[in-house]
Amino acid sequence: MRPLSQDLRVRFCRALDRGMSARGAAALLEVSPATGVRWAKAWREAGSIAPGKVGGHKRYVLESEREWLLARVAEKDATLHELLAMLREERGVVVCCDTLWRFLKRCGKSFKKRRSLPASRAVRTLRGAVPAGSRCSGG
């Protein structure tokens, strides 16, 4: 959404200078009362109601820790949660798991199972362990 025009803002300030209330000037210029109150506050405190910066690029929280994180990933096979704990304990940076995962993904790192890891130790159920048609009583 784009900011309201500077011309409208100037007319609002003139109405305030003539003694109108913020809500009255807002109603006259057909802007919301909340906008009128915000503009009046800015006019009183800063002497200007120019629009603020819109958009821009927000730096990533972990950008300053990039080299440290990539070194930790390269030197040991740590899980995301282990990296989070190291970040918190050694660097004092607290972020959620998703933030770390997205940051590492942007750096080209992934946390997929490696084929060299042993197979899962989940126990398979044996066929024929319970005779077909029999019912197990739960209690």
Please identify which residue in the block is written with the tokens 């080299």. 67
| 29 or 135, higher pLDDT | 29
- Find, among 50, 48, 57, 56, the residue nearest to 3 by Cα: 50
Q: In this structure, are residues 5 and 50 in contact, taking their beta carbons and an 8 Å threshold?
A: no
The residue range of the domain holding 89 is 63-106
Kindly state whether residue 55 falls inside one of the protein's structural domains. Answer: no
Do residues 97 and 81 lie in contact, with contact meaning Cβ atoms separated by under 8 Å?
yes
Residue 137, pLDDT above cutoff 60: no
The answer to whether 42 touches 32, Cβ cutoff 8 Å, is no
Residue 118's Cβ-side half-sphere holds a number of Cα atoms within 13 Å equal to 3
Same domain for 10 and 42?
A: yes
Residue 101 lies in a domain: yes
Domain contains 124 = no
pLDDT tens for 6-59 read 889 999 999 989 999 999 999 999 999 999 999 999 988 888 888 877 777 777
d(C-alpha 101, C-alpha 95), whole Å: 10
In a domain? residue 75: yes
What pTM was computed for the model? 0.44
54, 3 in Cβ contact below 8 A?
A: yes
For residue range 85-128, list pLDDT tens digits in order: 999 999 899 999 899 999 989 888 876 655 665 666 665 555 55
Q: What is the pLDDT of residue 89?
A: 92
pLDDT on residue 23: 94
The whole-number pLDDT of residue 136 equals: 54
Question: What type of residue sits at position 103?
Answer: F
In this structure, are 102 and 68 located in the same domain?
yes
Structural domain total, the chain:
2
Does some domain include residue 117? Answer: no
User: Is there a domain that residue 87 lies in?
Assistant: yes
